[in-house]
Amino acid sequence: MDLERRRQLTLAATIIGSSLAFIDATVVIIALPTIDRDLELGLAGQQWVFLSYSLALAALYLPAGGVGDRFGRRSTFIWGAAAFALTSLLAGIAPNEAVLLVARFLQGVAGAFLTTNSLALLRSVYGDQAGRAVGLWTAWTSVATIAGPPAGGALVEWVSWRWIFVVNLPLAAIAVALAHYGRCEERVHLRTGRLDLPGAALAAIGFGALTYGVVQGAEEGFGTVWWSFPVAVAALAAFIVVERRVAEPMLPFRLFRRRNFAAANLETFFVYAGLYGVLVYLTLYIQFLGFTPFEAGLITTPTSVVMILLAARFGALADRQGPRLWLTLGPAAIGAGALLLLLVDDRGSFWVFGIPGLLVFALGLAMMVAPITATALKSAPSEFSGIASGVNSTVSRLGSLLAIAVIGLVVTVVFGHDDAVALATGQTDPELRSASVDAFRAGMLVAAGLAFAGAAVGALWVSNSDARAGAPAPAPAAGS
């Protein structure tokens, strides 16, 4: 089998593997109101079904990238896909909320190794053509996301929400087989040295405590969870100290001396915060307005179609021209799409304002997602590909974690009724429905503001000349 054929098999494996992780997040969002009715979750419980998965991803992306850098991206990817299948089975048979949350957390653990090493594997296999490969990865992942939400919505509506997890098993098996048969030479050197386990533990404690405080504070009152905030501050401060002192840090701070690496990751934080804020709360809002889970899945289709048609093209344009233009226009369009959603207050107005808003949102996403990922990866030395992918994935998840928690807090405060749940399906009281609409609009304003902040970072900080020059020689380690 020739090299190009093996590359194609590897690309297909990374597309399927990453699609598992991405689709599982989006389909779960669609299923949340149904799971709520079955397991009596409440708004905070629905948030935790999503956040427990995202929290594990955010905490383990960096060590997962480090494992791939040291022991091989392909083998780490394969083990991640196998573990994702097993944890999906546990989620599918979960008898109650506690087991489901544990399963979702373990899914996130497996997903961290799967998705981080997916992008790093593409970088190592495709080398200088990584921008085009990431664009293809993005576009074809979107093919899966076209079928994913409607199919997941159909399963939720007509079979059971449990099947959205069970169907991951055969897909994971296909990804493992393709990755195995696509083995080829990887154009990078692997790193050596010990993994930074204390840094990983401190990061997990810091992110977890902060997320817990924001989510549960909105549900129970901040006076009952005040301790989580000093714990988060102490853990993150200790993380910074540890990372600056250990010989092999999980997060090499010297990478942030590279202008485009720092800029791309800061922009990733803002934009993905706004992006996930829209995706999560719009999906809940659509079903609040009276759409079924299947219809909610179909409504996301235009976003995926635009991504398929345009993502690879924008990735190639950014490779040739530089990424700054697309990293400015893309987030701005995402913010504009969020603002259009403010005009939606019933099923009829959704077709007038919601669909155009989603199309503008999708265009911005297609402009931004491949260039921002390629910029973050290519601005780091090749031996740090896994770490660079892990950093970029981590900040995207951190953005989504904090945005969902903070927007959830805003939604709860603006809703203002302790005896009811904001955006609940089947809500008929006019006062409660009006309060839910106001709460959703407040959340979209926050999401739009985050996207516009990302656009400002792209316009003012990203350098086209640095991007065209490629990654410079590795920066010296502190104290060397």
Between 122 and 355, the more confident residue is 355
pLDDT tens string 293-305: 888 888 877 777 7
Q: Do residue 200 and residue 256 come from a single domain?
A: no
In which band, very low, low, confident or very high, does the pLDDT at 68 lie, cut at 50, 70 and 90? confident
Q: Do residue 255 and residue 309 come from a single domain?
A: yes
**Helix 385-415 × helix 355-378 angle, to 10°:** 150
Q: Rounded to an integer, what distance in angstroms lies between the CA atom of residue 331 and that of residue 454? A: 6
119: nearest Cα among 106, 99, 137:
137
Note down the domain range covering 241.
196-249
Q: Rounded to an integer, what distance in angstroms lies between the CA atom of residue 458 and that of residue 345? A: 33
Q: Do residue 283 and residue 412 come from a single domain?
A: yes
Q: Do residue 441 and residue 354 come from a single domain?
A: yes
Q: Do residue 144 and residue 223 come from a single domain?
A: no
Domain presence at residue 222: yes
Q: Which of 249, 272, 293 is the last residue of a domain?
A: 249
Does residue 473 have a pLDDT over 70? no
Q: What confidence score (pLDDT) does residue 194 get? A: 59
pTM of the model: 0.76
Per-residue DSSP letters for 348-362? HHIIIIIHHHHHHHH
Using an 8 Å Cβ cutoff, are 83 and 113 in contact?
A: yes
pLDDT tens string 214-260: 777 767 778 888 899 999 999 989 988 988 887 777 677 778 888 88
Please report, as a single letter, which amino acid is at residue 64. Answer: A
Report the CATH number that the domain containing residue 335 is assigned in CATH.
1.20.1250.20
